[in-house]
Amino acid sequence: MALFGTDGVRGLANGSLTADLALTLAQATAVVLGQGRTAEARKAEGRRLTAVVARDPRVSGEFLSAAVSAGLASSGVDVFDAGVLPTPAAAFLVADIDADFGVMVSASHNPAPDNGIKIFARGGVKLPDEVEQRIEAALTAPKFQPTGAGVGRIRRFADAEDRYVLHLLKSLPHKLDGLHVVLDCAHGAASGVSPETFKDAGARVTVIGADPDGLNINDGVGSTHLGVLAETVVRLGADLGIAHDGDADRCLAVDAHGNTVDGDQIMAILAVAMKDRGVLASDTLVTTVMSNLGLHRAMAENGVNVLSTAVGDRYVLEEMNRGKYSLGGEQSGHVIMSAFATTGDGLLSGLHIMAEMARQKRTLAELATVMTVYPQVLINVDGVDRTRVADAGVADAVAAAVRELGDEGRVLLRASGTEALVRVMVEASEAEVAERIAQRLASVVRERLAL
């Protein structure tokens, strides 16, 4: 079974993800990512490899990041320990100090017992599949074994947070003066840096979910639990709420009435605003096949092309890099603004949504009207053979559903990449229609693909 998943290596901390694995993975990373042209140039100049290491505040991150740093230093890599910072901050810092690579210890929106290791190549970019495979193969291969003065040093990256905050503030097209935002930091990596950044940008800030104790990350708060945020926004009469996940690479919002503004709506607002300002490259937005039909229609009405990729922000990034596009993301709130970031950045997208509110002098609810959200029903059909998703009977049922919906809906069947289930998604102009067709298709999948 492959070690790397869709977003690094993830598992139960001290279960499948041990200190030994973290150390060995770091050593293998040093071997594979320490062999490039830049690394050879450093060696010729008598300089060691360098890496940035950061983590979210979950308790296991303490020993896992220590193991990662030990593995790198034992391989002759100088480590800049950035401490607790968001994933996009780690990616930015790799590029900012021209490090050879970076490692983020985080399990994103997962609960506290889980953890993960994400690796960034030079420039702060995620690794392609082939490089991950090389690192996996290097786990059992010989490692760098310098001795004496050849080993790496581990230093505290003292101004890491300041560099990141300044970078975010410099990206803003407009100050946030006069806006009151409630920030939900998910008791995660953004708990310190997000409130500081939004205040420095001029906003009035109320903070919730910013008291991490190592065990409460994502626990009833953050982008996967918006209820407390919505209640707080309405109770305080704030202009909006912004929710991060545990490592702050995503952002969801709620308007002044407590209504959710998801990743599709955030992308729609930003795409139209960027097009109006002439900074939307090729007038194109990159998103995944899961994005709402309403997003596609809104973009067509505003002269924005939409390119769809497989599910996963890494595939969005690959397409953005191929076409040099400036905006992309996912319905879940991973929004990538390539002029300022190499990965999804929840602080960055939240700041820019508020900047548009201030610039246009419109509420978030008013901005969100750029797009009509079509009712969407998603059913996970488990206990089926996902490898037979192309079954003729299933295909016939899908074709019939597509004919019934016409231009007023959409159908998507997708086999899970990791579980014995098939995801059935139906969108329609009416919720009752979407539910009826989705249930019908789920029954066909359950019958035709039964194990």
Which CATH number covers residue 391? 3.30.310.50
Contact of 421 with 403, CB cutoff 8 Å: no
Instruction: Establish if 308 belongs to a structural domain.
Output: yes
Q: Are residues 28 and 171 in the same domain?
A: no
The pLDDT of 421-450, averaged and rounded, is 93
Query: Domain boundary at 368, 401, 428, which?
Result: 368
User: What confidence tier does 7 reach under pLDDT thresholds 50, 70, 90?
Assistant: confident
Instruction: Establish if 207 belongs to a structural domain.
Output: yes
Is 262 annotated as contributing to ligand binding? no
The pLDDT of 71-78, averaged and rounded, is 97
Q: Are residues 130 and 233 in the same domain?
A: no
pLDDT (tens digit per residue) in 128-138 = 889 999 999 99
Alpha carbon distance 73, 41 (integer Å): 19
Supply the pLDDT for residue 44.
67
Q: Are residues 328 and 187 in the same domain?
A: yes
Q: Are residues 106 and 173 in the same domain?
A: no
pLDDT (tens digit per residue) in 266-310 = 999 999 999 999 999 999 999 999 899 999 999 999 999 999 998
Confidence (pTM): 0.91
- CA end-to-end span of the chain, whole Å? 21
Would you say residue 352 has pLDDT above 90? yes
Q: Are residues 169 and 245 in the same domain?
A: yes
pLDDT (tens digit per residue) in 206-248 = 999 999 999 999 999 999 999 999 999 999 999 999 999 999 9
- For the chain, how many structural domains are there in total? 3
Q: Which of 108, 223, 291, 332 is catalytic?
A: 108
**290 or 186, greater pLDDT:** 186
Supply the pLDDT for residue 2.
76
Query: Domain boundary at 338, 368, 398, which?
Result: 368
Instruction: Return the exposure string of 162-173: e unless at least 16 CB atoms fall within 10 Å of the residue's CB, then b.
Output: ebbbebbeebbe
CATH number at residue 119: 3.40.120.10
Is 162 annotated as contributing to ligand binding? no
Q: Are residues 127 and 181 in the same domain?
A: no
Instruction: Establish if 2 belongs to a structural domain.
Output: no
Is 247 annotated as contributing to ligand binding? yes
Instruction: Establish if 424 belongs to a structural domain.
Output: yes
The pLDDT of 69-98, averaged and rounded, is 97
Least Cα distance to 441 among 425, 429, 428 occurs for 425
Would you say residue 40 has pLDDT above 80? no
Tokens of 248: 């702050």
Contact of 339 with 326, CB cutoff 8 Å: yes
Q: Are residues 276 and 353 in the same domain?
A: yes
pLDDT (tens digit per residue) in 93-135 = 999 999 999 999 999 999 999 999 999 999 999 998 899 999 9
Q: Are residues 27 and 152 in the same domain?
A: yes
Q: Are residues 200 and 347 in the same domain?
A: yes
Supply the pLDDT for residue 364.
98
The pLDDT of 347-360, averaged and rounded, is 97
Would you say residue 36 has pLDDT above 70? no
Q: Are residues 121 and 236 in the same domain?
A: no
Does 108 qualify as catalytic in the annotation?
Answer: yes
Would you say residue 417 has pLDDT above 90? no
Supply the pLDDT for residue 149.
92
Least Cα distance to 376 among 431, 422, 413, 333 occurs for 431
Supply the pLDDT for residue 197.
98
The mean of the pLDDT values for the chain is 94
72: domain range?
9-158
**39 or 204, greater pLDDT:** 204
Q: Are residues 242 and 143 in the same domain?
A: no
Query: Domain boundary at 343, 368, 393, which?
Result: 368
Is 108 annotated as contributing to ligand binding? yes
Instruction: Establish if 276 belongs to a structural domain.
Output: yes
Instruction: Establish if 224 belongs to a structural domain.
Output: yes
Would you say residue 357 has pLDDT above 60? yes
Would you say residue 6 has pLDDT above 60? yes
Alpha carbon distance 207, 222 (integer Å): 12
Would you say residue 1 has pLDDT above 60? no
The pLDDT of 193-212, averaged and rounded, is 98
Instruction: Establish if 41 belongs to a structural domain.
Output: yes
Tokens of 221: 């708060």
**Strands in 300-398 per DSSP E:** 305-309, 327-329, 335-337, 376-382
Would you say residue 349 has pLDDT above 80? yes
* Cβ neighbours of 267 (radius 10 Å): 30
Contact of 241 with 271, CB cutoff 8 Å: no
User: What confidence tier does 312 reach under pLDDT thresholds 50, 70, 90?
Assistant: confident
Instruction: Establish if 1 belongs to a structural domain.
Output: no
Q: Are residues 252 and 382 in the same domain?
A: no
* Cβ neighbours of 209 (radius 10 Å): 27
- % of the chain surpassing 90 pLDDT: 88
The pLDDT of 313-329, averaged and rounded, is 94
Supply the pLDDT for residue 407.
86
User: What confidence tier does 324 reach under pLDDT thresholds 50, 70, 90?
Assistant: very high
